[in-house]
Amino acid sequence: MSRSVYLSGKSTDLSDREYVISQNVRNPFNVILIRRILSSFLNGVDSKVVVHVHLTWPFFYVVLASFGLSGIKLVYTEHNTNNRRRAIPFFWLIERIFYRRYSKVICISQGVHDSLARWVGPELAQRLETVPNGSRLYPVCTREPIRNRKLRLVSVGSLTYKKNFSTAIEAFAQLQDQFESYEIIGEGPERGRLERLISQRKLEKKISLVGWSNNIESFLCKADLQLIPSLWEGFGLVAVEGMSTGLPVVASNVDGLRDVLGTNNLSVTLVDDPGSAEAWKLAIGTAIEKLAKEGHKNLSVAARSQAEKFTLKAMAERYLEVYRKL
C-alpha cells in the first residue's frame, strides 16, 4: 500500500490515502505533524515502511520527524545538479548529517549523481543511485515540410534565470528573418525582464510569452525546433516531451540535460556555451541546415527513439527495485 503526503496545497479532491499538512512550508511545527503521520503509518505494520522524500524542506523535516521511530527506511530523490544551499560556507557539514539518515539517495541523471557525489563525499556517495526520470510521451506529430515557409520555434519552462531565455531571445533577434514565430510556454519572475528585452529588440510580433498552459502538446506539434537554453538542469522533462512528438532540439550542453538528449542523436544540436547568444545563433543555424537536409521524418524517428528511453513505467520499475533491496 502506498500513501502520499503533501507539505502544502489544497485538501480538496484527495483520496483516502492522500494527506495535506496545509502549513507554511517554513513552519518548524511541520516536523511534529509529519511525525504524527509517520507514527500512524507504522501502526499495525509488521514489515518496514519506505518513506520516499522529495524537495528541500521535506528533506530536512522528515529526518527530524523520524528520529526514534523504528521500521522506517528513508529514500530521497535529488532533482538538480546545483542549489543555493551549496553556496553557503561549510553547509556541506550540516547536509552530510541529514544525507546520512537516508538509506538511498536517488539521482535523476548521471549529472546529478556526479554533482551530489562531490558534495557529500566518497563515503556517502556509495548510497547514491541513478534512476532517470520518467516522462509522459505524446504521440508523434506530422509536421509540414519546411520548403517555402518560415520556421516556428518553441520553448517550455519557468521564466527564471536558470532557464536562460534571454540568451535565446538575443540569438533569435539575429536570425528573426528565418522564423515565423517563437513561443515560450511558462510563467515566472523573469517575465518583466523578458518582456522588456522583446520590446527593445522590436520582436513583439514574433515572440510570445504564452504563460502557463495545460496543453503543451499542441505547442510542441506546431513547432519545427525546440530550444532549451538552460544554464543547468537536473534532467530535462521538457526535452523528453518534445522529442516524443518527433521534435528536433537545440539545447545547452550541460550535465543532466545532456544525459537525456544523448551526444550522438541526429535530432539534437548541443550548445557548448549556453550563455553566449552567438553560440546559440550558430547552433540554431546548424539545426536549420540539418532539418533542411534530413527533413522532419528522419529527425522525428531519432527524437522519438531517444524519448522512449525515459518512460514512466521504466522509472517505476527501477524505484521498486531500489525499495526491495532496502
Is residue 79 within 8 A of residue 50, CB to CB? The reply is: no
The average pLDDT across 205-221 equals 96
Q: How far is CA 174 from CA 185, 201, 289, in A?
A: 21, 10, 16
Tell me: do 119 and 224 sit in the same domain. Answer: no
Tell me: do 320 and 267 sit in the same domain. Answer: no
Residue 292 covered by a domain: yes
Tell me: do 177 and 264 sit in the same domain. Answer: yes
Tell me: do 85 and 162 sit in the same domain. Answer: no
Residue 138 covered by a domain: no
Residue 205 covered by a domain: yes
**Locate cell 523573469: which residue?**
190
Least confident among 61-65, 68-72, 99-103, 242-246: 68-72
Residue-wise pLDDT tens digits, 111-130: 999 999 999 999 999 999 99
Closest CA to 267 of 297, 237, 238, 241: 297
Residue 264 covered by a domain: yes
Boundaries of domain holding 89? 4-133+312-325
Tell me: do 164 and 112 sit in the same domain. Answer: no
CA distance 306 to 229: 19
pLDDT of residue 293: 93
Tell me: do 94 and 67 sit in the same domain. Answer: yes
Tell me: do 119 and 9 sit in the same domain. Answer: yes
Tell me: do 234 and 292 sit in the same domain. Answer: yes
For the chain, what is the domain count? 2
The average pLDDT across 86-110 equals 95
41-66 b/e (C-beta count within 10 Å ≥ 16 → b): beeeeeeebbbbbeeeebbbbbbebb
CA distance 228 to 113: 21
Residue 249 covered by a domain: yes
CATH classification of the domain holding 77: 3.40.50.2000
CA distance 77 to 17: 21
pLDDT of residue 22: 75
Tell me: do 197 and 78 sit in the same domain. Answer: no
Residue 274 covered by a domain: yes
Tell me: do 165 and 254 sit in the same domain. Answer: yes
Residue-wise pLDDT tens digits, 34-71: 999 999 888 877 778 999 999 999 999 999 999 999 88
Residue 60 covered by a domain: yes
Tell me: do 206 and 106 sit in the same domain. Answer: no
Tell me: do 174 and 288 sit in the same domain. Answer: yes
Residue 97 covered by a domain: yes
Degrees to nearest 5, angle at CA 325 with 321 and 326: 120
Residue-wise pLDDT tens digits, 291-319: 999 999 999 999 999 999 999 999 999 99
